[in-house]
Structure 1
Amino acid sequence: MTTINPDKNRLRDLPKVDIILQHEALGKWRSTPLAVDIIRELLDETRQLVMEDDSTIIPDIPDLARQACAQLDDRFRSPLRRVLNGTGVVIHTNLGRSPLCESAITEMNAVARGYSTLEYDLKNGRRGSRHNLVKQSLLALTGAEDALVTNNNASAVLLALTALSKRKEVIVSRGQLVEIGGSFRIPDICRVSGAKLTEVGSTNRTRIADFRAAVSDRTGMILKVHPSNFRVIGFVEETSLAELVALGKEFGIPVVDDLGSGALDNLSAHTTQLPSETLVRESVEAGADVVTFSGDKLLGGPQAGLVVGKTATITKMCMHPLMRAVRPDKLTFAALSATLQEYLTGTHTQSLPIWRMLTASVEELEEWLKPLSIEIQSATEDTGLRLEIGPSTSYTGGGSLPEEELPSHALVFSGSQRRLKALQTDLRLADVPLIGYLKDGGFHLDARTLMIESREEIEVLLLAGLEVES
């Protein structure tokens, strides 16, 4: 057994914690308790290395301070970071769904910097209600009698079930008992609300007669649910909202239409690449008592659950104690108000990033990529990679228009799989992560979801990533 006898004098050369703690290289972590712990860990590691190998070089004070600062920065850096989306999925749930328009960002900054009229009535100089902040905009855009906003569409559905049908039966088609991202299941939400789910029809065919047969004096609601990413094709039949509304009126039962994505304008009127989606106004005009939809999908705003419909049902929801638990904050209202203003003025097709991405033509995307491709071409010469502009397929995402593929163009890097995976990783771990995907032997960066970003910034990131690979 070998006995290690370190030079104790060398251990005495290790700097004291207090001295490192005061060094300017620690930056914002200088003199903090967290820095003390990291410095002690670094000194313990260095002490152990010296004991194992007497020739180990002891880092100087500035070096130890820099190491401590780097570790603290890495450990406590916010996991929520801006990324550049090259996946081609426009409403990408993992990447934060819809980017906000400039006016929404401006309004959020304005109310975030100080106090706001979140619940204050300037005209009358007394307490106001946050429920009135975007009500007039929603009524004008949808034709509804009343409106309210929750923090997301799942909570809007939960609030409707709880306020209108707790301890009562909710009739829904078996073909609409879907599960969407994050294990959100309609039966589970119904159970949590205290309502009893009554399933009717079959997965592929549900008729109005099935709903009528299930109506009883215990029925509290008829629920229609957007299928999101789920589709049944072939031998299918679905009960229309108009039929459900007529049945609801006959028996005095409220009808709730969960639209999911919630389109305020018809995309198909602005591009031939996408079909029409049911508009919120159409559900309101069909007579639904409550219509719920998301703020951060096809609408292109912040995460929110928007609820419009008849005054009687909206009032019940607004007065329910659960409303306080699911109400949005001032930043959500600021961004939502600005987004709705874009629709009211008809500027949304150009100002909302999601609209620009979804309506861009294949020719526009190819032209957008050309200058970037020219700048990057020469940088690939010593990397073993090749670059070209190639056709790709992008998607709406977010459970919206799930069957629809959008033709697009992408920067396509080809070469060995090892180098392609390394490039993908380097770009993903950059200071501003650039996210792409591997497919058909190439690494793709889709123009449809990159076109809202700066070409110059993308160029810098790509050149840095390719330099690592050279």
Structure 2
Amino acid sequence: MPDPRRAIPRTDALLAEPRIAKAAAVLGRELVKSVVKDVQQVARAGEIAPDDVVDVVLARLPAGASSLRPVVNATGVVVHTNLGRAPLSPSALDALVAAGGTTDVEFDLGTGDRARRGRGALAALAAAVPDAAAVHVVNNNAAALLLCALALAPGREIVVSRGELVEIGDGFRIPDLLESTGARLREVGTTNRTSARDYAAALGPDTGFVLKVHPSNYRVTGFTSEAPITELASLGVPLVVDIGSGLLAPHPLLPDEPDAATALRAGATVVTASGDKLLGGPQAGLLFGDADVVERLRRHPAARALRVDKLTLAALEATVRGPLPPMRAALEASVESLRDRAQALVRALDGVDAHLVASVAAVGGGGAPGVELPSAAVSLPVRYATALRTGEPAVVGRVVKDRCLLDLRTVRPEEDVKLLEAVRRCG
């Protein structure tokens, strides 16, 4: 009796199969070839028939060359750090595609000469924060603080409140970051109360700058006080204010969240912020402030190591100039619209144990601690949590009291159909 394994298609024949060859043109020949060999091995073990090899190869091929998978964020956390923080707007995604080719990122097409790198993004940020005399962009907000320490306090002291020596995530801490530059921290005040007098008493010939850090991922309440920017700006030394979240101007839903424009008007020399989070763009560190100081930061040797690429610059400019980014749309969505969408999904899931429930969403991403956003969610049996998370597309909700909640505040309206189909496939 002939060995059925002899009927398994050869590697070259499989790679020449039109559908597999088309996938190789997108994913790369080596990636596709590795999948082909894996499936052939499964067929040799007798787990699939030789006639099924092509279909199994096609089923196992990834959607793209990257291992990252798209996820529907139904957690109710608007800026979810583990899910990539802020989703980019359609205009920012278009900008990424355009920037992926050859661009004029550092070239003046009119004169034929070299031009200021990222001038479009810088101009957009300057227009959005007119109180800033100058703007610079680095690869994240931690890098912005690092550059300030390197340029303004090499071997000198940074005066900072004890209550603002925060951990910024994944075990990284502001004091460790700053001291890694060779600067020394001069801690003042107490955990819960620090006054302008505390800062003034610590100033001396070794002072590089005063640093004010917004504790964006926690809140201290009760017997507390902090020195306002206006008082710190009058101390006669540079004042660096880290607002963290990337809010460029006041927002009515976030009255306690600091913003770049207000901090500059209050007298900050430099304001550092994030390009993602509450701005809703790509990860980047933004520096706004005094023209001479920002130029010192821009010309520091470390600025080269901290600079952003053309993709970030393109997405950042499109975020600032373009329509409302998804993060802001989620933040500002009315509860009524969320409830209507959730109710429509529940009706469409006839026969599924699905209910409309009230929910409470959060801003997330280390911003606006304590701010609760009323929302609406679809409640499902808890078994759906794993099935949805491991399905296609992946849907991540949250489990509350043995129910899987899909919070609509963080699901874009155009994703409702995907969400519906994903739940049906798990039924």
On whether the aligned pair clears a TM of 0.5, the verdict is yes
1:191 aligned to 2:179?
Answer: yes
User: Aligned partners of 1:328 and 1:410: how far apart in 2?
Assistant: 38
1:63: how far off? 3.0
Other structure's SS at 1:334 match: helix
Pairing of 1:327-338 with structure 2 (within 5 A): 327-338=307-318
Gap runs ≥5 in structure 1: 1-6, 50-55, 343-347, 381-385, 415-419
1:266 aligned residue (247, 250, 267): 250
CA distance in 2, matches of 1:103, 1:76: 21
Amino acid across the alignment from 1:202? T
CA distance in 2, matches of 1:41, 1:176: 53
* Pairwise CA distance, 1:435: 1.0
Indicate the residue corresponding to 2:196 in structure 1.
Answer: 208
Q: Deviations over 1:264-317 (max 9, x none)?
A: 23321xx5xx43422211111111111000111111222111111001110110
Counterpart Cα distance in 1 of 2:325 and 2:314:
15
Q: Does residue 1:125 correspond to 2:112, yes or no?
A: yes
1:399 alignment partner AA: G
The residue aligned with 1:417 is none
Equivalent-residue separation in structure 1 for 2:63 and 2:339 (angstroms) = 40
Q: Does 1:324 align with 2:304?
A: yes
- Equivalent AA in structure 2 for residue 442 of structure 1: R
Deviates further, 97-106 or 169-178: 97-106
Q: What corresponds to 1:464 in structure 2? A: 425
Are the counterparts in 1 of residues 5 and 43 from structure 2 also a CA contact under 8 Å?
A: no
2:408 equivalent to 1:453: no
Q: Judging changes above 3 Å, is the alpha-carbon distance between structure 1 residues 198 and 364 closer, same or farther for their aligned structure 2 residues?
A: same
Cα distance in structure 2, aligned partners of 1:75 and 1:358: 30
Task: Give the Cα–Cα distance (whole angstroms) in 2 for the partners of residues 387 and 174 of structure 1.
Answer: 49
- Which amino acid in the other structure matches residue 391 of structure 2? A
Shift in Å, 1:136: 3.0
8 Å CA contact 1:357, 1:452 repeated in 2? no
In the alignment, what sits opposite 1:394? 361
Indicate the residue corresponding to 1:103 in structure 2.
91
Quote the offset at 1:109 in angstroms: 2.4
Q: Offset of 1:169 from its aligned partner?
A: 1.0
- 2-side partners of 1:355 and 1:118: how far apart? 28
Contact in 1 for aligned 2:246/2:276 (Cα 8 Å): no
Residue 335 to residue 34, structure 1, CA distance change in 2 (3 Å): closer
1:352 alignment partner in structure 2: 325
Whether the aligned pair in 2 keeps the contact of 1:171 and 1:197 (CA below 8 Å) is: yes
Q: Which residue of 2 aligns with 1:146?
A: 134
**Per-residue displacement from partner, 1:106-127 (whole Å, max 9, x unpaired)?**
2222332x32221112343310
Query: In the alignment, residue 122 of structure 1 is paired with which amino acid?
Result: L
CA drift of 1:375 comes to 0.8
- After TM superposition, give the deviation of residue 103 of structure 1 in Å: 2.2
- Which shifted more, 184-193 or 403-412? 184-193
RMSD: 2.7
Unaligned runs of 5+ in 2: none
**Sequence identity, in percent?**
39
After TM superposition, list the pairs within 5 Å mapping 1:66-465 onto structure 2: 66-67=55-56, 70=59, 73=61, 78-112=66-100, 114-142=101-129, 143-247=131-235, 249=236, 253-268=237-252, 271=253, 274-342=254-322, 351-376=324-349, 378-380=350-352, 386-414=353-381, 420-421=382-383, 423-465=384-426
Given the two structures, how large is their TM-score scaled by the length of structure 2? 0.90
Distance 1:36 1:140 in 2: 50
Match of residue 63, structure 1, among 49, 52, 58: 52
1:162 shift after superposition: 0.8
Query: Is the alpha carbon distance of 1:40 and 1:310 closer, same or farther for their aligned partners in structure 2, counting shifts above 3 Å?
Result: closer
Letter in 1 for 2:277: K
Residues 184-243 of structure 1: CA deviation (Å, up to 9, x unaligned): 310111122221111111111112222122212111111111112122111112111111
The TM-score, its normalising length taken from structure 1, stands at 0.82
Deviations 1:381-425 (A, max 9, x none): xxxxx21111011001111111111111100124xxxxx22x212
